[in-house]
Amino acid sequence: MKQDMIGEARRVPQIMCFLKLIAVFAAFGHLHSGAAQKPSTLEDKQFYAKAKKEELLRAFSVEKNCQVAKNVILFVGDGMGLPIITASRIFKGQQAGKPGEETYLNFEKFPHLGLMRTYCVDRQVPDSGCTATALLTGVNGLFMTVGLDAHGKLQDCVRTMRNNQHFPTSIMTHAQRAGKRTGIVTTTRVTHATTAAAFAHTPSRQWESDTHIPEPAAAKCSDISRQLIETEPGRNFNVVLGGGSHNFLPIASGGSRNDSRNLINEWQQNSAQLGRKSRFVTSRNDLLDAARNRSTEFLLGLFHNSHMEFVGDKDAKKSEEPSLGEMTEAAIQILDNKNGFVLLVEGGRIDHALHNNNAKRAILELLAFEEAIDRALKLTKTQETLIIVASDHSHVMSVNGYPKRGNPILGIAGIQPHYKLPYTTLMFANGVGYNYALNSTHVSWRNVTGVKTHDIDFRQQAATFQPEGGETHGGEDVPAYAIGPWAHLVNGVHDLAYIGHVTQFAACLGDYSNTCTGNLLDFSTRSRRLKKC
């Protein structure tokens, strides 16, 4: 190890030269508009020699944690590809009066990082149903389905139920059988694709209520809301927080259900019959009160009839909706116990904003997601809690042009040479931001000169048309960041399903439930594996 460190140290001058070269090219930009911020410190040779040596030393000091994970928290930034991470990092820094490019999001400081491939079993570019199935069960799923493997068929209830022996099992089921508490938190409807994969099996992620299931399938397949209330593991969740109350209520009560059932009342009645210390809340104040009340063991919170409000649209003084950070903190306070817990937290509306070519709303959602991660880090112990921050897929946004260092990330990148029209730093390959006009001989595009591109409602430009909300996902790999027990397994390039196995392995759940004895691996090659660890 010492020789390795010496070898690395000898390569530091070469690394410094390389980083200096990158800095020169990053600072270069002849196409620029807007007031760029300059670094407060001259980023010269001495700056990089000091800063990057410190980074190397931090990397050397990272130790592997091979303890059993008492707790597992999986943070999923829906649609959080590298472009929106980059844009959010820069925006965060610029809001603090810095150039922005040097800024870090808190999870970017996690010691371990890997890249995850995102395809479905049957699609090159995925939806959130198949990818969430991979993350939560360790089995790659089918496009637009939830909790099914390759034996399922989209919107085919009969075939799906006939093959129910092939249903992949969620980590939530494994955790409950091991005596752990479990929960889901989201800014979307709690029956939406990502959180649904934690508890449901359905041939269509759109079947959130019985209203959405066509006949005759409605008589044979349970909708996602029913599965949350009626079957394992959903009915045993200690915490369910998010939006989507209308899927649980009959039409007569302002809901969407045709069967006239009030699933919220049923949840409350079932809890009472089981003697559970439970509570149903619909406002921020009630949520915070329930979290302070240590006797609450089961909590259902529905704060909107559909998805919760975008952060950028909330009136902080008037809104009765809690933030994602507040929901995360409340969940951890209720879940924390001697046997540990498994928690899924989704920043779901990052995805929705990107589907509308609306970068600023997406950035604000991602920064709220970061704040939730910060709360989790403060409330848990790294030694016993595995935290993975992952994405389920990317989007077709890009960070482009040659803007100068510190140029506003929501601003103009430069002027395209042929038409002499400005273009923004953030752009999309497709979406509603497509704004071209066709005459008899030419295609012309929108002139954004003088337009407030930093406005909350501004739609970034798109190269090809998709209808409102129809910007597509991207198919490239997405990052996963990890800290805590067995976090070092999150490295290299894998399928998303790999994360489902890492979480189960780290906590000795599911297929790995017999691989732990105390804090040791109980494989036949246990001693050799421990030496490697």
Residue positions forming the annotated binding site for Zn(2+):
78, 351, 355, 392-393, 473
Sequence-ordered list of residues with C-beta below 8 angstroms from that of 291, at least 6 positions apart, any chain = 329, 330, 333, 334
Q: Which ranges in 61-124 belong to alpha helices (H)?
A: 82-95
3-state SS, residue 212: helix
d(CA 360, CA 463): 19
Sequence-ordered list of residues with C-beta below 8 angstroms from that of 183, at least 6 positions apart, any chain = 237, 238, 239, 240, 241, 331, 334, 335, 341, 342, 343, 344
| The token pair that represents 300 in the structure block | 């259902």
- Closest by CA position to 331, among listed 523, 117, 30, 75: 75
Q: Which amino acid is residue 228, in one-letter code?
A: L
Note if 278 is an active site residue: no
d(CA 412, CA 452): 10
Annotated binding site: 78, 192, 194, 346, 351, 355, 392-393, 473
3-state SS, residue 508: coil
Q: Which amino acid is residue 310, in one-letter code?
A: F
Sequence-ordered list of residues with C-beta below 8 angstroms from that of 242, at least 6 positions apart, any chain = 184, 185, 186, 187, 188, 189, 190, 195, 301, 302, 303, 308, 327, 348
Tell me if 228 sits within 8 A of 172, measured CB to CB: no
Tell me if 470 sits within 8 A of 355, measured CB to CB: yes
d(CA 414, CA 21): 23
Instruction: Give 496: exposed, middle or buried? Use CB within 10 Å, 0-12, 13-18, 19+.
Output: buried
Annotated binding site for Mg(2+): 78, 192, 194, 346
For residues 44, 47, 53, 59, the Cα torsion angle rounded to the nearest 10 degrees is: -100
- Of residues 128, 225, 256, 278, which has the active-site annotation? 128
Between the alpha carbon of residue 14 and those of residues 6, 26, 58, 59, 369, the distances in Å are 14, 18, 19, 18, 37
Q: Which amino acid is residue 267, in one-letter code?
A: W
- Closest by CA position to 479, among listed 100, 105, 80: 80
Residues acting as catalytic residues: 128
